[in-house]
C-alpha cells in the first residue's frame, strides 16, 4: 500500500486520534447512573417509612456528582482504556463507597435528624458497585464500531510478533485501541495482516505518523529506535513476547539493588478462601428463591419431554483431585451412553470432535427440552447444591473429567489447586467454543489473579454471556 493511499484510508476510518469522546461520554454516563443509584437508596428508605425521607429530594444531591467525577478521574477511570476489569470494578466500588460515606457522615454531623438520608446514601453504594461497571460494559459494546470511539495505534514488532496483538484488538473493539498500521523490522513481510498495512521503518513513514497525530504505540519484540519512540508517542505500551507470567498484581522488590518482582497466589490464603466461601453462601441464599421457582417448571418440562430421572450427576475432578458429582438437570435421553458409543464407532468426524473437545457442536443425544436448557445454561442450576456442599464455587476453573486431565499436562495440579466453578473465565470467553489450550490459559490466569473484584466481574459478565447464548450447546 502506498503512503498516500494509506493516509486517505486512515482519515476515512478515524474521526479522532484521542480518547476524548470515550472519556467525556463515560463521565456523563457515570454521573447519570450514580444519580439513579442515589435515587434507588432514597426510594428504599421512603418505601420503609415515607415520613423519614422525601424520595424526590435525591435530585438535590446531584451537586455532589462533579466531586465523584473528579475522584474517578484521579483513580484513572477516564478513559480507563485497557484497565483490567477487576481493577475497574475495584476502583469504582471503593471510590463510590468513600464518596457516599463521606457525604453521609458530613450530613449526619450537620444535623442528627438527617440519619435517613445517610442510610439512603449508603444503600446507593452496592447498586453503584454493580450498575456502573454494567453500564460501562454496555456502553463499550454499543459503541464498539463507532469511529469516534476508536483510537488508532501503531504496532511495532519483529516478524509476526504483532499478529496476536492485532488479532486481539480487532476481535475486541471494545478495547478502544484499533491497529492502524504495523511497523516491522523484518525485511521480507506481507503487505498487510488482517487488513492492517505493514511497513518497514523509515523517515517518510515516521513523519507520516507524526503528521496523522497518532499518539499510541504498542511494542512487541522490537528493539530498534526505542529512544525515538519514547519521545514521540504520548502513550507507549510494551508487550513481552513471552507471556509466562500472567499475574497482574506484580510488586517491585529491592534485593540489595537488584530489581525483582513478586506475586502472590491469593487462593492459598485462608482469609481469601473464607471470603470466597462467604460470598458463595450469600449468593446462594439470594438466588435460592428464584432458582426453586424456575426449577419447578423445568422439572415438569423434563418429565413431559422424555422418560428418565430429572437430575444427572456427572463425575468430575474437584479440588486436589477429589472426585465430585456435578449435578445438572438431565438434558439427554436415558440411552445417551449407548448412542455415544455408536457415534464414536460410525461417525469419524464427530469422533474427532469428541477427542478434541469432549463435546459435540450438535449433539444428537440431547432432548428438545435439553437443547433449551443448555442454550440458556439452566441445566446447571442444580450445581447450587454443589456450591452449598462446598464441592464447587460460583466462580472458579472449569470442572474437568478424568480423561480430560491429560490435556492439562504440567498445569494439572495447579488448575486443581482451586475449587471448580459454576462460572469462570472460560464461561465468559466463549464457553464451549474455547479449546483446551485457551481454557488452561484462562484457568491459570484466574488462579494467579484472583480477587473478590475479579469474581464480581465474572459474575456480571456471565449474566451477559448467558443472555446472548454465545458458545452454549
**Share above pLDDT 90 across residues of the chain, in percent, rounded to a whole number:** 40
Cβ atoms 173, 152 nearer than 8 A: no
Secondary structure letter of residue 225 according to DSSP: S
Quote the cell numbers at residue 86. 477487576
Alpha-carbon dihedral sign for residues 38, 42, 43, 48: positive
Quote the cell numbers at residue 334. 436415558
Lowest mean pLDDT among 76-90, 107-121, 234-248, 360-374: 234-248
Residue 431: band (very low, low, confident or very high) from pLDDT cuts 50, 70, 90: low
For residue 95, the surrounding DSSP H or E stretch is helix 85-110
Cβ atoms 159, 190 nearer than 8 A: no
Cβ atoms 197, 181 nearer than 8 A: yes
Instruction: Say whether pLDDT at 445 is over 90.
Output: no
Give the model confidence (pLDDT) of 46-83 as tens digits. 999 888 888 888 898 899 999 999 999 999 999 988 88
Residue 183: band (very low, low, confident or very high) from pLDDT cuts 50, 70, 90: very high
Give the model confidence (pLDDT) of 316-361 as tens digits. 999 999 999 999 999 888 777 788 888 888 878 778 777 776 677 7
Query: What is the DSSP pairing of strand 151-157 with strand 216-220?
Result: parallel
Residue 246: band (very low, low, confident or very high) from pLDDT cuts 50, 70, 90: low
Using CA atoms of 185, 189, 194, 199 in order, give the dihedral in degrees to the nearest 10: 50
- Start-end ranges of CATH 3.40.50.170 in the chain? 150-243
Q: Taking residues 268-274, what's their average pLDDT? A: 87
**Share above pLDDT 70 across residues of the chain, in percent, rounded to a whole number:** 95
H helices present in 146-257, as ranges: 163-171, 203-211, 226-232
pLDDT: which is higher, 13 or 362: 13
Residue 244: band (very low, low, confident or very high) from pLDDT cuts 50, 70, 90: low
Other CB atoms within 10 Å distance of the CB of residue 256:
5
Instruction: Say whether pLDDT at 5 is over 90.
Output: no
Instruction: Say whether pLDDT at 1 is over 80.
Output: no
Q: Name the average pLDDT for the chain.
A: 87
For residue 181, the surrounding DSSP H or E stretch is strand 177-184
**How far apart (Å, rounded) are the C-alpha atoms in residues 319 and 387?**
13
Q: Does domain 150-243 have CATH number 3.40.50.170?
A: yes
Longest Cα pair distance anywhere in the chain, in angstroms? Answer: 80
**How far apart (Å, rounded) are the C-alpha atoms in residues 33 and 131?**
7
What pTM was computed for the model?
A: 0.81
Amino acid at each position: 500500500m502506498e503512503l498516500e493511499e494509506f493516509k486517505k484510508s486512515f482519515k476515512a476510518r478515524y474521526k479522532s486520534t484521542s480518547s476524548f469522546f470515550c472519556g467525556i461520554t463515560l463521565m456523563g454516563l457515570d454521573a447519570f447512573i450514580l444519580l439513579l443509584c442515589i435515587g434507588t437508596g432514597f426510594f428504599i428508605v421512603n418505601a420503609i417509612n415515607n415520613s423519614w425521607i422525601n424520595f424526590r429530594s435525591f435530585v438535590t444531591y446531584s451537586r455532589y456528582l462533579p466531586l465523584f467525577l473528579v475522584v474517578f478521574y484521579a483513580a484513572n477511570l477516564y478513559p480507563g482504556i485497557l484497565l483490567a476489569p477487576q481493577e475497574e470494578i475495584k476502583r469504582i466500588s471503593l471510590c463510590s463507597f468513600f464518596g457516599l460515606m463521606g457525604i453521609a457522615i458530613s450530613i449526619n454531623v450537620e444535623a442528627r435528624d438527617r440519619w435517613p438520608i445517610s442510610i439512603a446514601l449508603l444503600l446507593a453504594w452496592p447498586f453503584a458497585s454493580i450498575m456502573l461497571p454494567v453500564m460501562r460494559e454496555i456502553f463499550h459494546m454499543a459503541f464498539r464500531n463507532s469511529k469516534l470511539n476508536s483510537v488508532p495505534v501503531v504496532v511495532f514488532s519483529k516478524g509476526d510478533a504483532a499478529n496476536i496483538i492485532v488479532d486481539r484488538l480487532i476481535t475486541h473493539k471494545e478495547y478502544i485501541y484499533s491497529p492502524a498500521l504495523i511497523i516491522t523490522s523484518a525485511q521480507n513481510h506481507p503487505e498487510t495482516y488482517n487488513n492492517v498495512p505493514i511497513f518497514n521503518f523509515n523517515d517518510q513513514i515516521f513523519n507520516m505518523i507524526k503528521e496523522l497525530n497518532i499518539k499510541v504505540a504498542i511494542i512487541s519484540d522490537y528493539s530498534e529506535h526505542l529512544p525515538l519512540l519514547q519521545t514521540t508517542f504520548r502513550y507507549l505500551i510494551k508487550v513481552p513476547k513471552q507471556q509466562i507470567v500472567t499475574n497482574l498484581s506484580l510488586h517491585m522488590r529491592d534485593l540489595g539493588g537488584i530489581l525483582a518482582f513478586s506475586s502472590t497466589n491469593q487462593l492459598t490464603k485462608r482469609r481469601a478462601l473464607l471470603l470466597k466461601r462467604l460470598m458463595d453462601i450469600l449468593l446462594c441464599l439470594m438466588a435460592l428463591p428464584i432458582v426453586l421457582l424456575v426449577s419447578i417448571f423445568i422439572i415438569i418440562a423434563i418429565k413431559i419431554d422424555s422418560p428418565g430421572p430429572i437430575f444427572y450427576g456427572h463425575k468430575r475432578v474437584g479440588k486436589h483431585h477429589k472426585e465430585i458429582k456435578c449435578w445438572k438437570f438431565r438434558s439427554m435421553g436415558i440411552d445417551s451412553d449407548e448412542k455415544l458409543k455408536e457415534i464414536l464407532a460410525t461417525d469419524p468426524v464427530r469422533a474427532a470432535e469428541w477427542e478434541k473437545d469432549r463435546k459435540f457442536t450438535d449433539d444428537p443425544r440431547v432432548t428438545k427440552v435439553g437443547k433449551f436448557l443448555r442454550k440458556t445454561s439452566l441445566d446447571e442450576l442444580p450445581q447450587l447444591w454443589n456450591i452449598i456442599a462446598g464441592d464447587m464455587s460460583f466462580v472458579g476453573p472449569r470442572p474437568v473429567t478424568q480423561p480430560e486431565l491429560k490435556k492439562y499436562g504440567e498445569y494439572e495440579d495447579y488448575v486443581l489447586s482451586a475449587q471448580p466453578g459454576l462460572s469462570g473465565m472460560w464461561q465468559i470467553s466463549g464457553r464451549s467454543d474455547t479449546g483446551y489450550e485457551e481454557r488452561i490459559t484462562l484457568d491459570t490466569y484466574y488462579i494467579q489473579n484472583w480477587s473478590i473484584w475479579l469474581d464480581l466481574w465474572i459474575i456480571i459478565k456471565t449474566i451477559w454471556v448467558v443472555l446472548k447464548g454465545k458458545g452454549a450447546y
